[in-house]
A and B are shown apart, each in its own frame.
Chain A
Amino acid sequence: MPAAIEVHDLVMTYGDLRAVDGVGFEVAEGEFFGILGPNGAGKTTTLEMVEGLREPDSGTITVLGEPVWPRNPGLLPRVGVQLQASSFFERLTAREQIHTFAALYGVPGARGDEWIERVGLVDKADTRVEDLSGGQTQRLSIACALVHDPELVFLDEPTAALDPQARRNLWDLLRGINEAGRTVVLTTHYMDEAEVLCDRVAIMDRGRLLRLDTPAALVEALDAPVRVVEKRGTLEDVFLDLTGREYRQ
């Protein structure tokens, strides 16, 4: 399978701090790729360089076969980005918001309405973004990233600060996006999320790439004494079983 993203020897330095220190990886087309790491590990800086927002000090990046730096207008319509939940125009409703993004990408507003429906925001379409809950904001933000039907999507901590219902619903949404053939790159702090969603994960710390493999292979390779425990549900599963998986306010 051809590579959607190719990164070699990426370096980014802030003063004395090597925020990203020789990172290299490939993401295959159609892959669901996770980047894990504690705060300050260099995930966001790496992602911003791959998205084309920052120029690396050294290293090469190719996305969908094209260079990302300097700003590559031909590439932008093929990529969708969710930077952080609040990247919205002030005081616009959910519908106006996605229509504005649709217009920026030159797609009809009706596509925005379809996405509002897909992420379950029809009831909230005329609510201003400032009045949406955390989960609704995240869903709108993902819808805005996907409104132009990109081949490759970057999602930066899309499930941060969500309740379990909203999180599981977002998982279904993200899996659907990936199954429709899009390459998805996601950063997260949740290991269970990475394990469930990602084909492969990269674990970063202190600017370096520590491991890169499938979740199963990483767990197997764990050098700790093997615990023979029957696999069972988690507390979260119990909670969701009792409280249901519908979206909450």
Chain B
Amino acid sequence: MTAATSAFRSLSLAIVRGFVRDKASLFFALVFPLMFLVLFGGLFADQGTSKVEMVQVGEVALFDDLPPGAQEAFDETFEVEQSDDLDAAIATVRDGDADVAVEMQGDELVAHYTQTDQVKAAVTQGTLRAFVDGANVAATGAPPTYTLTAERVEDDSLTTIQFVTPGLLGWAVAMSAAFGAAATLQGWRQSKLLRRLQLAPVSTRTVVAARVVVTIGIALVQLAVFLGLGAAAFGLTLTGSWWASIPLLVVGTLCFMAVGLFAGAIAKTVEGAVNMANFMVLPMAFLSGSFFPLDAAPPWLQAFSRLLPLRWLNEGMLDVMVRGQGPAAVLVPMAVLAGFAAVLTLLAARFFQWETH
């Protein structure tokens, strides 16, 4: 092991220890964003997807001979319960314990429904009518003239968890990278540790590399925790080349470290640096779609958000994680983030002063 490797290892270890022993930075890097994930993924999970509860009175031949495709659609829409007593079934519907009671009167399918839930009432009527029409067409023996093919458009049908996981992850990574860099730069300057390291036979490159590698490691842990928890607890499904989010996240981490360096360079105290980083990252998270989709936002806001690095990080991660896109989708975001990183690092170097007068 060369001297530089040993210095790099022990510096990295020192930084990791400093991070995991700091309850506040651990909280803001992991627990705080995860609280939002649980909030959005758990509490605001898609509503109105529960099935229509149907009470079937006696035999309903129409439902027994459904063609395979229609059977599937039927099962997805209705939760069926059998009954022999029509009055009792209607009473169940009236009490709100079921949405519809159906019976056959000869060739007539009679549905007793309640208007309490208008969406379910409409679904019930529409679906049953479609089955009856389909059965009529089938009975004529003639092929149907018109057919319907339904295709999901991924973006519009993104469930809450699919949307919020990449956005909240982007915010979490941005926050911990910026805070880490800002607090380290200011803290080490205040304690003169930066000066002390300057007088040790270790190159600036080694010191910077240790700090960068640790921050990237933290970002990858955040990625694993977010995707793991999202998939295990809230039904997150990754659809695209999600692995392409790893290089994207690395460049994003560098970009937000540069944001933190800039904040650390212009602030005078550690608290000031962290507040400054917060002041930059939190509004950016709102305007970059970390908490809510920007699709409904006014055009000027959408245009403005393109000036923010976090918007690019979020978009890139959405594309490859849940919009089913290939690795090429992260190339432009990576280039933009790298550009921000370079400019902000130069600005930080321009404003940095060794002494706090």
A56 vs B251: C-alpha distance in the bound complex, in angstroms?
39
Does B14 lie within 8 Å of A89, measured CB to CB? yes
Q: A96-B17, A103-B10 are in contact. Are A52 and B199 (CB under 8 A)?
A: yes
- The interface-forming segment of B42-50, B91-99, B190-198 is B190-198
Given A104-B201, A106-B201, A88 and B191 contact (CB-CB distance below 8 Å): yes
Which stretch of A20-28, A78-86, A236-244 is in the interface?
Answer: A78-86
Asked if B192 and A84 make an inter-chain contact with CB atoms under 8 angstroms apart, the answer reads: yes
CB distance from B108 to the nearest CB of A (A): 78
Which of A73, A76, A96, A104 counts the most chain B CB atoms within 10 A? A104
User: What CA separation (Å) do A127 and B199 show in the bound complex?
Assistant: 26
Instruction: Name the B residues within 8 Å of A87 (CB-CB).
Output: 191-193, 195-196
Please determine whether A105 and B18 come into contact, CB atoms closer than 8 angstroms.
no
CA distance A106 to B9 in the complex (A): 12
Main SS at interface, chain A: loop
B327 close to chain A: CB less than 8 A: no
A96 in contact with B14 (CB, 8 Å): yes
Q: Is the CB of B196 within 8 A of A81?
A: yes
Number of A interface residues, CB 8 Å? 27
> Which A residues lie within 8 Å of B13 (CB)?
100
A211 an interface residue at 8 Å Cβ cutoff? no
CB pair A99–B193 under 8 Å, yes or no, is no
> By the criterion CB–CB under 8 Å, are B6 and A100 in contact?
no
B5-31 interface bits toward A, Cβ cutoff 8 Å, 1 = contact, 0 = none: 011011101110110011000000000
Give bound CA distance, A52 to B15, whole Å.
26
User: Which A-chain residue is minimally distant from B4 (CB atoms)?
Assistant: A106
Size of B's binding interface in residues, CB under 8 A:
26
Which residues, 98 to 115 on A, are CB-close (under 8 Å) to B? 99-101, 103-106
**Does B200 make an interface contact (CB < 8 A)?**
yes
Which of B3, B11, B191 meets A100, CB within 8 Å?
A: B11
Q: Look across to chain B and name the residue whose beta carbon is closest to the beta carbon of A101.
A: B200
- Report if B233 contacts A (CB, 8 A): no
A189 at the interface (CB under 8 A from B): no
From residue B81, how far is it (CB to closest CB) to chain A in Å?
61
In the complex formed, the residue of A with least CB distance to B199 is A81
A89 near B200 with CB under 8 A, answer no
Residue of A nearest to B204 (CB): A71
* Centre residue among A53, A81, A89, A100 by max chain B CB count within 10 A: A89
A128, B22: Cα distance in complex, Å: 12
**A106 and B196 contacting across the interface, CB-CB below 8 Å:** no
Q: Report which A residues bind B (CB closer than 8 A).
A: 51-53, 71, 73, 76-77, 79, 81, 83-84, 86-92, 96, 99-101, 103-106, 128
Task: Please give the residue numbers on chain B whose beta carbons come within 8 Å of chain A beta carbons, in ascending order.
Answer: 3, 6-7, 9-11, 13-15, 17-18, 21-22, 187, 191-193, 195-203
List the 10 closest A-B pairs by CB distance, nearest first. A103-B10, A106-B3, A91-B21, A76-B201, A87-B196, A104-B200, A89-B14, A90-B18, A83-B192, A87-B192
